[in-house]
Amino acid sequence: MTTPTHSSRPSDRPASSLASRQDKSPLGVAAIGYAFMGKAHSNAWRNVGSFFDVPAFEQKVLVGRDAGAVAEAAAKYGWAETATDWRSVIERDDIDIVDICAPGWMHAEIAIAALEAGKHVLVEKPLANTIAEAEAMTAAAAAARAKGVQSMIGFNYRRVPAVALARDLIAEGRLGTVRHVRAAYLQDWLADAESPMTWRLRKETAGSGALGDIASHVIDQVQFLLGDAVTEVSGRLHTFVNRRPGAGPASGLEDVTVDDAAWATLTLASGAIASVEVSRVATGQKNSLKLEIYGDKGTILFDLENLNELGFLDATLPVREQGFRRILVNEPEHPYMQAWWPQGHIIGWEHTFTHQIRDFLTAISAGEPPSPSFEDGLQIQHILAAVEESAAAKSSLIQLHTKPTTQNTTEGA
């Protein structure tokens, strides 16, 4: 077993979990994973205390399999030390929070072990690669919650201020009865058939392709914005490039075992219908998440590539005054924005992770379950599985009997 590079137990700290600890020392944080998501989360941990009033914490340990690479990343991202064995880290008494940024196939083992060790857990979406793994994680989270140990899944787009504002407007009845939603999340990083294989293109490591990677975000957005739950699913999956070059020059071609794109029609409990389209081969689309929410009294439009803006049409106005207006979402009255810059100064994608950490720490401090919960993540896992089942059956409508179980919250609620 590889051990952390520094001493793990200050002599003046009791050997107990945060749930039973009475001292006021800073919360110790360990992050597992230092690539794309590890970098994004590290940036949030490094900056959240500079802009928001959150409990004191310390960036204790960054964990990764490559000792040299993780040490280099830790020096850049502000972590005090590094380790190559996550198991030894969660055993430490000075670690209170475990932030899991590792690939999906590792989520269940790490999260369950951390929760059983009394650590608060934040894990990236999707919750797991299979329903069985997600169910085991949810059971562990429920048992830990009963002891005061919190857990949350990282659907960071809930923390886009414009999206949070959209949810407020919908909850206030500004759209009236929502009838249908169009949602599309399009990327093109796999449009080139010569793009090499990665763990994201293998079912055993990724679980699914565009479906789990980005449709999970879209489905969470639909339910979050409407405060509703999906009850029926019809879906289709497609892989446009079935074989790709292996990682090494002599590897030859390898089979792609996940989808490149997915489509779904979702029926919600309210009767609203949502169409969902996701792709990682949409040439020219880099990270385009577009949402259109149509009600009988108004409409909301959102585009992640203009994430400081919200389009809003109030259909209760006289016809001659109707038309989409642009709301620039960076006033102090808007969700999260009071912490940032003067009006008119925009924020970016990385700020959603800062807001996520802020909400997670605030919930821990208050002793309240944060949102979205592992139960919410499991419910979305059921929807993803239903899309796969429908796609395999070619035309079946799959009924669901699960729903989100926790309050969907935004900053300031």
Does domain 158-341+374-399 fall under CATH 3.30.360.10? My reply is yes
Question: What percentage of the chain has pLDDT greater than the value 90?
Answer: 88
Each residue's pLDDT tens digit, 358-401: 999 999 999 999 999 999 999 999 999 999 999 999 867 778 88
Is residue 408 very low, low, confident or very high in pLDDT (cuts 50, 70, 90)?
A: low
Angle at 349 between CA 343 and CA 353, to 5 degrees: 100
* Domain spans in the chain, listed from the N-terminal domain onward: 18-149, 158-341+374-399
**3-state DSSP assignment of residue 57:** strand
Whole-number Å distance between alpha carbons of 213 and 217: 8
The reported pLDDT for the residue numbered 6 is 31
Each residue's pLDDT tens digit, 197-240: 999 999 999 999 999 999 999 999 999 999 999 999 999 999 99
The reported pLDDT for the residue numbered 9 is 30
In the predicted model, is pLDDT for residue 266 greater than 70?
A: yes
In the predicted model, is pLDDT for residue 409 greater than 70?
A: no
Architecture in CATH of 18-149: 3-Layer(aba) Sandwich (3.40)
Whole-number Å distance between alpha carbons of 376 and 153: 8
Extract the tokens encoding 332.
């102090």
Each residue's pLDDT tens digit, 119-135: 999 999 999 999 999 99
Least confident of 39-53, 80-94, 153-167, 381-395: 381-395
The reported pLDDT for the residue numbered 337 is 98
Is residue 407 very low, low, confident or very high in pLDDT (cuts 50, 70, 90)?
A: low
Maximum Cα–Cα distance for the chain, whole Å?
A: 72
Each residue's pLDDT tens digit, 281-302: 999 999 999 999 999 999 999 9
Please provide the average confidence, as pLDDT, over all residues in the chain. 92
> What's the predicted TM-score (pTM) here?
0.90
